[in-house]
Structure 1
Amino acid sequence: MKSLLLVGTVIVATTVVGLAEGLYWVVGNRATNTCDIVTSNPIVDGNIWFADGPYNSVDDAKLARSTISQCPRDQPPADNPK
């Protein structure tokens, strides 16, 4: 019974960690005057003046970025999220 409980705990912990990966946020970067797509939950202060997300894919984040009025329209492609 203890081993079954241990296995269940490991499966739940692995699932939670797996769900946290692959998330993306759109952040307003005041230093570069751009909206960047990042892979870690941002802290809004200083140069990061807003954050939106999380999104499940880069494509979802790109779509969101295109609809945020504070983001410049001539954004570079987000091939490599930070």
Structure 2
Amino acid sequence: MNPPETPPERLSERELFTELVDLLDESDDPEGYTEARFRARRAALLAEVGDRLETLEAVKSLLEPVGTPSDGVTEIEMESDREP
């Protein structure tokens, strides 16, 4: 019997990580999985984790204020503010 496989992109973060951890814990005896399906599912779950991390980093960079003191810029200069 094959275990049900919800596409990784439809899993919540908790479900995604739980399934990945369970899959990695069962790597010696992947119950219900052939070796090829086990590797494919593990790859799909890891790819989804990577995609979500990239999305998170992109959103984070969009939300960070421009010209924060942490990046060494203390004042934002507009082109229209420059003297000719």
| TM beyond 0.5 | no
Larger Rg over CA atoms: 2
Q: Which has the higher contact order (CA 8 A, sep 6+)?
A: 1
Greater percentage in strand: 1
- TM-score, normalised to structure 1, is 0.32
- TM-score, normalised to structure 2, is 0.31
Greater percentage in helix: 2
